[in-house]
Amino acid sequence: MRNRAWTLTAHPEPGELIGKRHFALAESDVPALSDGQILVRTVALGTSPAQRAYASSAPAMHPKVPLGAVMRGRGVGVVVQSKDRQFHSGDIVEASLGWQEFAVLTPAHAGDGILRIAKLPNPMRPLTRHLGVLGGTGATAWFGLFEVGQAKPDETVVISAAAGGVGTVAVQLAKRRGCRVIGIVGSDAKARWITSALGADAAIDYKHDDVAQRLRELCPDGIDVYFDNVGGALLDIALTNLALHARVVICGFISTAQGEVIAGPKHYPNLLRKRARMEGFFVMDYLARWDEAHRPLRRWLDEGAFDPAEDVEQGLERMPDALASLFTGANCGIKLCRVAADP
Ligand SMILES: NC(=O)c1ccc[n+]([C@@H]2O[C@H](COP(=O)([O-])OP(=O)(O)OC[C@H]3O[C@@H](n4cnc5c(N)ncnc54)[C@H](OP(=O)(O)O)[C@@H]3O)[C@@H](O)[C@H]2O)c1
Q: What is the DSSP string of 231-271?
A: -HHHHHHHHTTEEEEEEEEE---GGGTTSPPP---TTTHHH
Q: Round the average pLDDT of the chain to a whole number and report it.
A: 97
What confidence score (pLDDT) does residue 67 get? 98
Query: Among positive and negative, which fits the CA dihedral 38, 43, 46, 52?
Result: positive
pLDDT band (50, 70, 90) for residue 260: confident
Which residue lies with its CA nearest to atom 46 of ligand 1?
Answer: 252
Residue 226 has pLDDT above 90, yes or no: yes
* C-alpha torsion angle, residues 291, 306, 323, 231 (rounded to 10): -80
What confidence score (pLDDT) does residue 249 get? 99
What confidence score (pLDDT) does residue 254 get? 96
What is the distance between the alpha carbons of residues 123 and 151, in angstroms, rounded to a whole number? 30
CA of residue 30 to ligand 1 center, whole Å: 34
pLDDT band (50, 70, 90) for residue 276: very high
What is the distance between the alpha carbons of residues 161 and 95, in angstroms, rounded to a whole number? 26
pLDDT band (50, 70, 90) for residue 259: confident
H helix or E strand, kind and range, residue 326: helix 319-328
What is the distance between the alpha carbons of residues 35 and 241, in angstroms, rounded to a whole number? 59
Inter-residue contact 179 to 151 (CB < 8 Å): yes
Query: Among positive and negative, which fits the CA dihedral 16, 210, 141, 303?
Result: negative
Question: What value does the mean pLDDT take over residues 299-308?
Answer: 98
What confidence score (pLDDT) does residue 264 get? 82
**Of 217, 281, 218, whose CA–CA distance to 248 is shortest?**
281
Residue 19 has pLDDT above 90, yes or no: yes
Question: What value does the mean pLDDT take over residues 130-156?
Answer: 98
What is the distance between the alpha carbons of residues 258 and 139, in angstroms, rounded to a whole number? 24
What confidence score (pLDDT) does residue 60 get? 84
Tens of pLDDT, residue by residue over 199-208, are 999 999 999 9
**Chain Cα centroid distance, residue 267:** 27
Inter-residue contact 93 to 87 (CB < 8 Å): yes
pLDDT band (50, 70, 90) for residue 263: confident
Task: Report the residue among 205, 237, 254, 335 best suited for mutation to probe ligand 1: largest number of ligand atoms under 8 A from its CB.
Answer: 254
Which residue lies with its CA nearest to atom 2 of ligand 1?
Answer: 282
DSSP string for residues in 150-206 = ---TT-EEEEESTTBHHHHHHHHHHHHTT-EEEEEESSHHHHHHHHHTS--SEEEET
- Ligand 1: residues within 6 Å at CB? 48-50, 136-137, 140, 161, 163-167, 185-187, 190, 229-230, 251-255, 281-283, 326-327, 329, 331, 335
CA of residue 324 to ligand 1 center, whole Å: 11
Cα separation values, 77 from 117, 133, 169, Å: 11, 17, 23
pLDDT band (50, 70, 90) for residue 43: very high
- Cβ-in-10-Å burial (0-12, 13-18, 19+) of 34 comes to exposed
Pairing of strands 156-160, 117-119: unpaired
Q: Helix (H, G, I), strand (E, B), or coil: what is residue 84? A: coil
**Of 120, 140, 121, whose CA–CA distance to 130 is shortest?**
120
Residue 59 has pLDDT above 90, yes or no: no
Q: Point out which residues pair with 77 in neighbouring strands.
A: 42, 93
Question: What value does the mean pLDDT take over residues 44-62?
Answer: 94
What confidence score (pLDDT) does residue 266 get? 93
- Which has more pLDDT, 264 or 149? 149
Residue 209 has pLDDT above 90, yes or no: yes
What is the distance between the alpha carbons of residues 332 and 78, in angstroms, rounded to a whole number? 27
CA of residue 214 to ligand 1 center, whole Å: 21
**Of 268, 287, 264, 286, whose CA–CA distance to 278 is shortest?**
268
* Amino acid type, 326: L
Question: What value does the mean pLDDT take over residues 10-30?
Answer: 97
What confidence score (pLDDT) does residue 327 get? 98
Which residue lies with its CA nearest to atom 42 of ligand 1?
Answer: 329
Predicted TM-score (pTM) of the model is 0.98
Task: Report the residue among 166, 184, 236 best suited for mutation to probe ligand 1: largest number of ligand atoms under 8 A from its CB.
Answer: 166
What is the distance between the alpha carbons of residues 276 and 58, in angstroms, rounded to a whole number? 32
pLDDT band (50, 70, 90) for residue 112: confident
Which residue lies with its CA nearest to atom 43 of ligand 1?
Answer: 329
What confidence score (pLDDT) does residue 261 get? 80
